Amino acid sequence: MAEVTLKDVRKDYAGNQVIHGVSCAIADGEFAVIVGPSGCGKSTLLRMVAGLEEISGGEITIGDRVVNDLEPKDRDVAMVFQNYALYPHMSVYDNMAYGLRIRGMTKAEIDVRVQKAAATLELGPFLDRQPRQLSGGQRQRVAMGRAIVREPKAFLFDEPLSNLDAKLRVQMRVEIKKLQRALDVTSIYVTHDQVEAMTMADRLIVMNKGVAEHIGTPIDVYAEPATLFVAGFIGSPAMNFLETRVGSDGALELDGARLTPKTRLDPGRAVTVGIRPEHLAPGGGLDIQVELVELLGADTLVYGRLSDGNSLVIRLPGTQVPKSGDRMPVHANAGAWHLFDTETGKRLGTA
Amino acid sequence: MVERRPLLDLMAHLVLLAGIAIVAFPVYITFVASTRDATDIIHGTMPLYPGTDFVANYMGALFQGSQRLRTTAVSTMMLNSLVMALTIAIGKIVISIVSAYAIVYFRFPLRMAAFWMIFVTLMLPVEVRIYPTFKIVADLGMIDSYAGLTIPLIASATATLLFRQFFMTIPDELVEASKMDGAGPVRFFIDTALPLSRTNIAALFVILFIYGWNQYLWPLLVTNSATMDTIVIGIKRMIVTSDAQTEWHIVMATAMLAMAPPVAVVLFMQRWFVKGLVESEK
Amino acid sequence: MQKVGFKGRFFPYVLIAPQILITLVFFYWPASQAVWQSFLIQDAFGTRVEFVWFENYETLFSDPLYFNALVVTVVFSTTVAALSLGFALLLAVMADRQIRGARAYKTFLIWPYAVAPAVAGVLWLFMFQPSLGIVAQQLKRMGVDWNYLLDGRQAMTLVILASAWKQISYNFLFFLAGLQSIPRSVIEAAAIDGAGPGRRFWTIVFPLLSPTAFFLLVVNIVYVFFDTFGIIDAVTLGGPAKATETLVYKVYSDGRLGGDLGGSAAQSVILMAIVITLTAVQFKYVERKVHY
């Protein structure tokens, strides 16, 4: 068990920089989730921690050791792969025992560890089977077991649930989280699924184009997204964005409604206003034309359009149903409006 | 088939049976001749069913060879053939699998040069470079030795390409998982790459064993001593075109013995044989 | 394609060394020797060597015996390929019908692949041996004056038969695999469109099988060029009067006599050129098969 620290970690391929200096400290026992769209560099970052990719710049520390130049085997970390990467010719038992055998552990010790992991993961009856005789969920568990038996300083997960069907994914999500709690091992988990990220993380690292745009607790990321990208990526349905400029009196004009920023902004500045669908409620300043209504049971999504042509999604609790073609006034509470600099995408506070 | 055509099905059976009869006929005749005595054959009056001299002919061939022509005993020839076939098959597999492993799993200067160098040998079968190769083997003092018989045939572009192809299909994540488990290149080879190649090895072995056993031109050149004769070479030495010296009953028994091992390998390892044949032509 | 690899500076060289060493010593060195020697002429006493550019090749191409070998090779290879491909295709089409015992038929048809060419030669030689072969006797009874030891055409027929016989199983296997890879639905669609079995074969199956057929044609030619050496050496020794002397057999028998080192080397170089051409054709084709 150990703290994992990244200090200005960089990666370039043939002069092409793909990770632009990521820094963060993951505390002992913490569950950190790196989330972002495909190609954002999240897997590359994880693989650098694992030692499967070379580190072009910066420093990675596991425990009190700088691991930059250590081979994967010497870093004392275990990894769960997207396709599980089980050895197809070895039994479940041997898959778990293999890493321990290489480390020269005695047979008895190995057996204790494997049996314990098998019991935890309910793999007991399958120890003699080959991977191909297992279901997807069972293979996933074996991959977990292979990591657990090592009792490493840190677990690394590379999109481990993306090959499972939706129902199993939810189930495994809960199991992995519980297991991590019970074992209390520092974990880094990579996913592109923001629901997975939000529900599992102690701390989120939201990445975009090789930059860690926001590092914080899930609630923090949801409530105060650091950039336009983070605001749009986390939350479902995604946050609504409306572009506008700061008026001469310092207020923001939005299709007839006026917003007053909490902090003073220079007049004339281009600002993007963000509002989450669930923070809009019927009545008040903005008038929308309803275009489409989706009933989800527990709540209802209303797709509408403002008179200036911008579209807006509103999430209403229950089944209060406006008809399409209806006009509907909506408003949001003060403080629910997020403001971002249109050019840099940086957060400017709320309104 | 798409619709029921009993008449066509019947025709199919008949054609296939006829085909098998044609394919099998020469071997049947050989078998019959190998069970008859010399006089039955020499007068051209041999009946088309087996005779009674099976044991005598095969024993004679195995332990004496053609006495009249003073050839080596067929058992010695078979041993030579076996040594040659096994050395070639195993040697080719070992040499090819390790070089394919190096080419796929390491980045080193001259890697592609080495690959192409091996690849081009596809176009240099022994038949086109007979005498220069023979001269080198002679200069190296490898005439009349198992080494001379096998080593020049042991390099294999086909097998190397096949293993390279196969290694490319092993998922990268499996290599990475091994690395995380602490395996280096040697362990990954022994614990994972090799066991996963089992069926490919079996398929190649069948093809290469047959290839080795059936070699003719090369052993003809590099062996002079009769004790080094393989069975395929030896059987030819038992036949004299010009006169009646040829002991056909012994020759025919030898022919059966020459066919038996490779044919048995094909029949008993049919699945691997077909796989090997198809894959090595890719 | 970039694979995940291992680190190692000397280790990969150790792994690849045996293969490279053998190719250098037994492939590249002799091949380059052949090319070099094909430009040289040695005098009768072997004391003086002269560089003569293409003189050896010129001599070769004006040699009627070399021309003869070329013709023999072409006739031999086309006949064997046609005979064995045709017969194998017929058998494969029959075995592709879903009839009872198809697997057993297959087993009984593939084993001749394992018979050594020289041994195949011996089997056919025995059947056609003029004085005691049972087929020869039958032919004589039918009034054919059979003696392949004297008649060049008969000798050619015999080596063709033996060579085609041995190649049937190989062609059969590949044709069968080709047939079985034709999607059932295409044939069923044709049947619904009203095409009977014969029509279906010529308009659907055969065109779809043509890549296989072309591939086999090349393989068969290579086979006849090189692997039939054993058959010829066992049955006719290239005779009578060089009627069955192929290019490969000529290299061998000329070399045995010794002497003309340059001429022999030139023959080898020409053979190499032929193999390279055939392999190139084959690969160009295989390339296409991959994208097919």
Give the model confidence (pLDDT) of A254-313 as tens digits: 877 788 888 888 888 889 999 999 998 888 778 888 888 888 888 888 998 888 888 889
Q: Give the pLDDT confidence score for residue B102 in this predicted structure.
A: 94
Last residue of a domain, one of A229, A255, A270: A229
Q: Give the pLDDT confidence score for residue C291 in this predicted structure.
A: 33
Answer yes or no: do A151 and A300 share one domain.
Answer: no
Q: Give the pLDDT confidence score for residue A236 in this predicted structure.
A: 83
Answer yes or no: do A85 and A206 share one domain.
Answer: yes
Q: Is the pLDDT of residue C233 over 70?
A: yes
Answer yes or no: do A253 and A210 share one domain.
Answer: no
Give the model confidence (pLDDT) of A317-347 as tens digits: 877 777 777 888 888 888 888 999 988 989 9
Answer yes or no: do A289 and A327 share one domain.
Answer: yes
The chains in contact with chain A, meaning 3 or more Cβ pairs closer than 8 Å, are B
CB nearest C229 (choices: B13, B217, B248):
B217
- Asked if B176's CB is within 8 angstroms of A98's CB, the reply is no
Q: Which residue has the tokens 């990579």?
A: A190
Q: Give the pLDDT confidence score for residue B244 in this predicted structure.
A: 66
Answer yes or no: do A170 and A193 share one domain.
Answer: yes
B220 bridge partner residues: none
B13 reaches C (C-beta below 8 A): yes
Q: Give the pLDDT confidence score for residue C292 in this predicted structure.
A: 32
Which of B119, B79, B175 minimizes the C-alpha distance to A47? B175
Q: Which residue has the tokens 């506008």?
A: A244
Q: Give the pLDDT confidence score for residue C161 in this predicted structure.
A: 94
**pLDDT level of residue C290 (50, 70, 90 thresholds):** very low
Answer yes or no: do A264 and A175 share one domain.
Answer: no
Interface test with B, best of A70, A73, A76, A139 (most B CBs within 10 A): A73
Which of chain C's residues have a Cβ under 8 Å away from the Cβ of B16?
91, 94-95, 105, 109
Whole-model pTM: value is 0.86
Q: Give the pLDDT confidence score for residue C289 in this predicted structure.
A: 45
Comparing C289 with A330, which gets the higher pLDDT? A330
Percent pLDDT > 70 in chain C is: 94
A20 bridge partner residues: A10
Last residue of a domain, one of A189, A207, A229: A229
Nearest CA in chain B to A90: B192
Give the model confidence (pLDDT) of A188-229 as tens digits: 999 999 899 999 999 999 999 999 999 999 999 999 999 999
**Residue C162 CB partners (closer than 8 Å, separation 6+):** C120, C121, C123, C124, C125, C231, C235
Token pair, residue A89, equals 């010719």
Interface test with B, best of C6, C248, C250 (most B CBs within 10 A): C6
Q: Give the pLDDT confidence score for residue B232 in this predicted structure.
A: 92
Token pair, residue A93, equals 């038992």
Give the model confidence (pLDDT) of C107-162 as tens digits: 888 889 999 999 999 999 989 988 888 888 888 888 888 888 888 899 999 999 99
Distance of CA B223 to the CA centre of its chain: 18
- Asked if B180's CB is within 8 angstroms of A50's CB, the reply is yes
In chain B, where the domains are located: 74-278
CB nearest A103 (choices: B177, B182, B191):
B182
Mean pLDDT over B144-150 rounds to 91
d(CA B191, nearest CA chain A) in Å: 9
- Asked if B180's CB is within 8 angstroms of A72's CB, the reply is yes
**Residue B1 CB partners (closer than 8 Å, separation 6+):** B8, B9, C97, C98, C197
Nearest CA in chain B to A103: B182
Question: Chain A residues with CB-CB distance to B under 8 A?
Answer: 50-52, 71-73, 77-79, 81-83, 85-89, 98-99, 102-103, 146
Q: How far is CA A73 from CA A103, A114, B171, C163, C177, in A?
A: 9, 19, 19, 58, 46
Which of chain B's residues have a Cβ under 8 Å away from the Cβ of C150?
none
Distance in angstroms (rounded) separating the CA atoms of residues A112 and A101: 13
CB nearest C119 (choices: B102, B172, B258):
B258
Which of chain C's residues have a Cβ under 8 Å away from the Cβ of B232?
116, 118-119, 230
Answer yes or no: do A221 and A105 share one domain.
Answer: yes
- Asked if A51's CB is within 8 angstroms of B179's CB, the reply is yes
Burial class (CB in 10 A: 0-12, 13-18, 19+), B52: exposed
- Asked if A83's CB is within 8 angstroms of B180's CB, the reply is no
For position A242, which CATH number holds?
Answer: 2.40.50.140
Which of chain B's residues have a Cβ under 8 Å away from the Cβ of C201?
none
For position A15, which CATH number holds?
Answer: 3.40.50.300
Comparing B282 with C86, which gets the higher pLDDT? C86
Q: Give the pLDDT confidence score for residue C1 in this predicted structure.
A: 46
- Rg from Cα positions in chain C: 24
Nearest CA in chain B to A74: B182
Q: Give the pLDDT confidence score for residue B274 in this predicted structure.
A: 83
Answer yes or no: do A161 and A36 share one domain.
Answer: yes
Answer yes or no: do A93 and A143 share one domain.
Answer: yes
Q: Is the pLDDT of residue C286 over 60?
A: no
Give the model confidence (pLDDT) of C54-87 as tens digits: 888 888 888 888 899 999 999 999 999 999 999 9
Q: Is the pLDDT of residue A140 over 80?
A: yes
CATH architecture of B74-278: Orthogonal Bundle (1.10)
Average confidence score pLDDT of chain C: 85
CB A240 within 8 A of CB A312: yes
CB nearest B236 (choices: C107, C234, C264):
C234
- Rg from Cα positions in chain B: 24
Element (H, E) at C269: helix C261-291
Distance in angstroms (rounded) separating the CA atoms of residues C203 and C201: 6
Which of A114, A111, A108, A10 minimizes the C-alpha distance to A53? A10
Give the model confidence (pLDDT) of A42-82 as tens digits: 999 999 999 999 899 999 999 889 999 998 888 999 999 99
What number of H helices and E strands is found in chain B?
16, 0
B48 reaches C (C-beta below 8 A): yes
**Residue B160 CB partners (closer than 8 Å, separation 6+):** B96, B99, B100, B103, B118, C19
- Asked if B277's CB is within 8 angstroms of C173's CB, the reply is yes
Which of chain B's residues have a Cβ under 8 Å away from the Cβ of C219?
281
Which of chain A's residues have a Cβ under 8 Å away from the Cβ of B182?
72-73, 99, 102-103
Answer yes or no: do A179 and A278 share one domain.
Answer: no
Give the model confidence (pLDDT) of B85-117 as tens digits: 999 999 999 999 999 999 999 988 888 899 888
Answer yes or no: do A220 and A241 share one domain.
Answer: no
Which of chain A's residues have a Cβ under 8 Å away from the Cβ of B187?
102
Last residue of a domain, one of A229, A259, A286: A229
Give the model confidence (pLDDT) of A92-135 as tens digits: 999 999 999 999 999 999 999 999 999 989 998 999 999 999 99
Q: Give the pLDDT confidence score for residue C46 in this predicted structure.
A: 66
Give the model confidence (pLDDT) of B30-62 as tens digits: 998 888 888 878 777 778 888 888 888 888 888
Domains of chain C, each with CATH number or no CATH: 63-289 (1.10.3720.10)
Q: Is the pLDDT of residue C287 over 60?
A: no
Q: Total domain count for chain A?
A: 2
Answer yes or no: do A118 and A146 share one domain.
Answer: yes
Q: Give the pLDDT confidence score for residue A157 in this predicted structure.
A: 94
- Asked if A89's CB is within 8 angstroms of B179's CB, the reply is no
Tell me the residue range of the domain where A317 lies.
237-350
| Strand duo A4-13 + A16-26: pairing | antiparallel
Distance in angstroms (rounded) separating the CA atoms of residues A217 and A30: 11
Q: Is the pLDDT of residue C237 over 70?
A: yes
Average confidence score pLDDT of chain B: 87
Burial state string for A207-229 with b = 16 or more CB within 10 A and e = fewer than 16:
bbebbbbbbbebeebbeebbbbb
B248 reaches C (C-beta below 8 A): yes
Which of chain A's residues have a Cβ under 8 Å away from the Cβ of B179?
51-52, 71-73
**ipTM summary value:** 0.89
Q: Is the pLDDT of residue B3 over 80?
A: no
- Asked if B124's CB is within 8 angstroms of C272's CB, the reply is yes
Helix (H, G, I), strand (E, B) or coil at A87: coil
- Asked if C112's CB is within 8 angstroms of B99's CB, the reply is no
d(CA B174, nearest CA chain A) in Å: 5
A302 bridge partner residues: A293, A314
**Residue A25 CB partners (closer than 8 Å, separation 6+):** A3, A4, A5, A6
- Asked if B181's CB is within 8 angstroms of A88's CB, the reply is no
Q: Give the pLDDT confidence score for residue B225 in this predicted structure.
A: 86
CB nearest A99 (choices: B174, B182, B192):
B182
Nearest CA in chain B to C289: B282
Query: Which residue stretches of B34-110 are H helix?
Result: 38-42, 54-64, 74-105
Q: Where are the beta strands (DSSP E) in chain A?
A: 4-13, 16-26, 31-35, 57-62, 65-66, 77-80, 154-158, 186-191, 203-208, 211-216, 240-245, 252-254, 257-259, 270-275, 280-295, 299-306, 311-317, 327-332, 338-341, 347-350
d(CA B216, nearest CA chain A) in Å: 39
Nearest CA in chain B to A73: B182
Give the model confidence (pLDDT) of B243-260 as tens digits: 567 888 888 999 999 999
Q: Is the pLDDT of residue B189 over 70?
A: yes
What is the maximal distance between C-alpha atoms in chain B?
76
Residue C218's CB is within 10 A of a number of other CB atoms, namely 17
- Asked if B179's CB is within 8 angstroms of A98's CB, the reply is no
Q: Give the pLDDT confidence score for residue C102 in this predicted structure.
A: 79
